[in-house]
Structure 1
Amino acid sequence: MELADLKNKWNQVLFALEARNRVAWLTYFDARLASLESGILKLDFSDAEKFSGNHSYLDTRTKFAPMLIEVIEEITGESVEITW
């Protein structure tokens, strides 16, 4: 799968994620799909972090990453790993 393919289906991924868990959706809805190489999806949260102040959302992102991976596989048929 190419990055463009996932970008084309990203809204479907987000809708499916929201249907499972709204907090998970909130965690990833403003992520930018930075790259997808060798099955490793890199998410960029730099825009979202401009307003986060002293808060770190790394724990929340890590907690919901397995759910996001599962939804991506359901929508695309492809398995990915996630990094940021």
Structure 2
Amino acid sequence: MTPAYSGTVATDIPALKAQWNDVLYDLEAHNRTAWLALFDGRLASLDDGVLTLDFSDAMKFFGAHEFERASRPDFLDALAGSVERVTGERLRVIAP
């Protein structure tokens, strides 16, 4: 089930973090492959409508994350769509 728009706009990292699980549930429901590639990304920054994900923690584990998959434009667009469906705000998502 896709979470309904909460009416709360995520204009900063704390607000978006509070809704992040709902964003990930929505992403999993709409694009499971993108969810698999992106679910362990951390919210690094949110500036001028650009959300930056950080995968440095993923490198601590055996079998480190495949970062090239995480930066696929279609996956980042899918995540941006989930953010918009949950928060009502359209962000550009990057994973440098």
Shorter-chain TM band: 0.7 to 0.9
Q: Which has the higher helix share?
A: 1
What's the TM-score once normalised by structure 1's chain length?
0.85
Look up the equivalent residue of 1:69 and give its one-letter code.
A
Residue 24 of structure 2 aligns with which residue? 14
Which of 71, 74, 78 is equivalent to 2:89? 78
Q: Percent identity, aligned pairs only?
A: 46
* RMSD, matched Cα: 1.7
Once residues 82 and 12 of structure 2 are traced to their aligned partners in structure 1, the CA distance between those partners, rounded to angstroms, is 17
Q: CA deviation at 1:43?
A: 0.3
Is the Cα contact below 8 Å between 2:23 and 2:83 reproduced in 1? yes
Could you list the runs of 5+ residues in structure 2 that have no partner in the other structure?
Answer: 1-10
Q: Does 1:69 align with 2:80?
A: yes
Q: Are 2:47 and 1:37 equivalent residues in the alignment?
A: yes
Please say which of residues 44-53 and 12-21 is displaced more in the overlay.
44-53
Q: Corresponding residue for 2:38? A: 28
Retained in 1: the 8 A contact 2:38–2:70? no
Gaps of 5+ in 1: none
Is 1:57 matched with 2:47?
Answer: no
CA distance, structure 1, for counterparts of residue 17 and residue 78 of structure 2: 18
